[in-house]
Amino acid sequence: MVKVTAAEVNKLRQATGAGMMDCKKALVEAEGDFDKAIDVLRKKGQKVAEKRADRDSSEGAAVAKINDDNTSGVAIVLGCETDFVGKNETFVALASDLADIALHHDTKEAFLAADFGGMTVAEKLVEQTGVIGEKLEITSFEKLDAAYVGQYVHINKIAALVGLSAKVDNVETLVKDVAMQVASMGASSLSYKDFDPAFVASETEARIAVIEKDNIELGRLGKTLKNVPSYISMAQLTPEVIAQAEDAAKAELKAEGKPEQIWDRILPGKMERFISDNTTLDQEQCLLDQKFIKDDKQTVAQYVDTYGDVVVTGFKRASVG
């Protein structure tokens, strides 16, 4: 049997992250050849990966990285099987190292094919599957380019990127606040203008059906019925619809006996309520139309406007699970 030194074992351990005994066995099997020992460990990883291919890597670590001039960012999730591994410092460090590489690639495919210490990222994941004993994979890869890109990561579970049209005063605060919004509220689009009309129509029908069903039960219990909206998105509130709503509000004020000279003071509030009641889809799924988490008296768009000549151009979100 070939004798290996502690220094050789430690060198292999530093290079691969494998345990002391695994490194020693690999070196013995490779008859002391360092490169062959790495191959031995890699083959072990392949066997473990094959056995665990059908496992669910629903845990892991989310990481975001931004380049030096804040014009490009990446958010990835390194997935594993258990929360115990996902919280391990070495595992999180590996996710961070992978994100550094991901920052220089535009697609997940190119990233997986990139070099990681003499092997591809994909091969590194297989190797570490053998080391850790759990299925490892990149479960999310998101890239964002803009005039200014910032990020926010929530306890290594959610990573968010936000792109702005320009760098303005206190931009770090602005971009972090909006990225926190993305992380916590999970918007799916930037604006209602991005919605497909067919999606809005089907979602409207479904939501109205749910509310009407709920109202049957509420009515049976003698409770206050929920408002049944005619619309759910600003995309549906055409100038004609707004005009009709304003006419209806005026008719209501007239029926209530309110003097016409005070209508101008009351109408804005009524119209604001009408728009709020009929844009629930926007408030849930459109970043700019959501209530700002730090001040629900304004929308995200209104908060961004306080920073001057800058707009949100895009966002990305990567989450564990």
Looking at residue 26, its pLDDT comes to: 79
How far from the centroid of its chain's Cα atoms is residue 230's Cα?
31
Q: Is 64 within 8 Å of 73 (Cβ atoms)?
A: yes
pTM for the model stands at: 0.78
One-letter identity of residue 223: K
Q: Give the whole-number percent of the chain exceeding pLDDT 90.
A: 71
pLDDT in tens, 213-271: 999 999 999 999 988 888 999 999 999 999 999 999 999 999 998 999 999 999 999 99
Dihedral of the CA atoms 14, 20, 25, 29 (nearest 10)? 10
Buried b (16+ CB within 10 A) or exposed e, 205-242: eeeeeeeeeebeeeeeeeeeeeeebebbbbbbbeeeee
Whether 49 shows a pLDDT value over 80: the answer reads no
Looking at residue 8, its pLDDT comes to: 80
Q: In which residue are the tokens 């409770």 written?
A: 223
Distance, in Å, from the CA atom of 111 to the CA atom of 93, rounded to the nearest integer, reads 17
Average pLDDT, the chain: 90
Among 21-25, 96-100, 238-242, where is mean pLDDT lowest?
21-25
Distance, in Å, from the CA atom of 290 to the CA atom of 287, rounded to the nearest integer, reads 5
Looking at residue 25, its pLDDT comes to: 81
Dihedral of the CA atoms 195, 146, 184, 283 (nearest 10)? -30
Residues, the chain: 321
Regarding predicted confidence, which is higher, 219 or 4?
A: 219
Whether 37 shows a pLDDT value over 70: the answer reads yes
pLDDT in tens, 262-300: 999 999 999 999 999 999 999 999 999 999 999 989 999
pLDDT in tens, 140-184: 999 999 999 999 999 999 999 999 999 999 999 999 999 999 999
Whether 134 shows a pLDDT value over 90: the answer reads no
How many CB atoms are located within 10 Å of the residue 272 CB? 10
Whether 51 shows a pLDDT value over 80: the answer reads no
pLDDT in tens, 55-78: 777 899 999 999 999 999 999 999
List the domains of the chain with CATH numbers.
6-51 (1.10.8.10), 59-185 (3.30.479.20), 193-307 (no CATH)
Return the CA Rg of the chain: 27
Name the pLDDT band for 86 (thresholds 50, 70, 90).
Answer: very high
Name the pLDDT band for 130 (thresholds 50, 70, 90).
Answer: confident
Distance, in Å, from the CA atom of 221 to the CA atom of 63, rounded to the nearest integer, reads 49
